[in-house]
Amino acid sequence: MTEEAEDKRQNVKSLLKMLAVLECFSATDRELSVLQIAQRTGLPRTTVHRLVDSLRTVGFLDQEASRERYRLGLKLFELGTAAITNLPLYREAGPFVDTLAKLSGEIVHLCIFDGSRMVFVEQATDKARANNVVTTMEGTPCHSTGVGKAALAFQPPAVIERVIGLGLQPFTRNTIVDPERLRGELADIRARGYAIDNCEHEPEVRCVAAPIRNSTGRVIAAISVSGNTRHVTPERVPELAELVLSHAQLISVQLGYQPPRERPAVRDEVERPRAR
């Protein structure tokens, strides 16, 4: 192996170790000590010390005043925000998000599938445009949200099983926590073309969502209309589904997708909330 090739291999190894450190943090593990990071990564404490010091220097980690714990730095948020605003999805979808909010009279969410969760790209209401860029980089789960189920239903089986393997956390009494029941729900979504969050992520909130495809036809995101169950009633679901499906298709076309000539008519298949 040449010296240049060896240097490249070592650089890659160092980057992978840094990534392993950053991936220790999550929405539930916001602050960690060097010992905790070492335990989670399996790296020696001296190595972790060196890595966190480098990550802190470039702004990827912040150090607590006590100097004993670390948290993700704002530089990562800046990079994540820049990544989202540079997405073709973000650039093309804005007008359709606004129009859907005005036509439905409800809140509209546009989210991208990151391989296991949904990350908010844009939100709007019929009254005023909300912040265009996410204010938090935390994702939302796929199994309990309309956008999540709409995106997950059209992923390869291996991806679906990986998401199921991460665990199906209950959020409300209606959250689907049984893997077999979730598989059946995803099959129903593929058949009708849209997903329903029937008070599964938040109590008294119903959501109708549809998948968004890129130029190759792969589902990369989803868009939804959601509101209080007093407004988004079971009777309104077919009407809202038509709106969401049409706007999801329009966004997909803007991304280069060529849809089939005909799309199946929306069927009224909303169920009343039920206990898990």
**pLDDT at residue 155 is higher than 80:** yes
Arithmetic mean of pLDDT, 16-32: 85
**pLDDT at residue 132 is higher than 50:** no
Arithmetic mean of pLDDT, 145-174: 94
pLDDT for 54 equals: 92
User: Do 168 and 194 fall within a single domain?
Assistant: yes
pLDDT for 27 equals: 66
How do residues 209-227 score in pLDDT, each as one tens digit?
Answer: 999 999 999 999 999 999 9
The CATH code of the domain that includes 121 is 3.30.450.40
Q: How far apart are CA 168 and CA 141, in angstroms?
A: 9
User: Do 14 and 118 fall within a single domain?
Assistant: no
User: Do 114 and 248 fall within a single domain?
Assistant: yes
Residue 273 maps to a domain: no
User: Do 62 and 88 fall within a single domain?
Assistant: no
- What are the C-alpha distances in Å from 55 to residues 41, 59, 86, 138? 15, 6, 24, 20
Helices 88-104 + 237-254 axis angle, to 10: 150
User: Do 233 and 196 fall within a single domain?
Assistant: yes
User: Do 66 and 150 fall within a single domain?
Assistant: no
User: Do 173 and 245 fall within a single domain?
Assistant: yes
User: Do 140 and 238 fall within a single domain?
Assistant: yes
Q: Give 252's pLDDT tier (boundaries 50, 70, 90).
A: very high
Cβ pair 195, 166 in contact under 8 A: no
pLDDT for 125 equals: 80
Domain boundary among 42, 72, 102: 72
Residue 51 maps to a domain: yes
Q: Give 268's pLDDT tier (boundaries 50, 70, 90).
A: low
Lowest mean pLDDT among 55-69, 76-90, 91-105, 108-122: 76-90
User: Do 136 and 232 fall within a single domain?
Assistant: yes
User: Do 142 and 179 fall within a single domain?
Assistant: yes
Q: Give 270's pLDDT tier (boundaries 50, 70, 90).
A: low
Domain limits at 91? 79-254
Domain count, the chain: 2
Residue 56 maps to a domain: yes
Domain boundary among 72, 104, 125: 72
User: Do 27 and 134 fall within a single domain?
Assistant: no
pLDDT for 29 equals: 79
How do residues 38-50 score in pLDDT, each as one tens digit?
Answer: 999 999 999 999 9
Domain boundary among 72, 103, 129: 72
Q: Give 265's pLDDT tier (boundaries 50, 70, 90).
A: low
Q: How far apart are CA 208 and CA 150, in angstroms?
A: 9
User: Do 55 and 32 fall within a single domain?
Assistant: yes
Tokens linked to 194: 């849209």
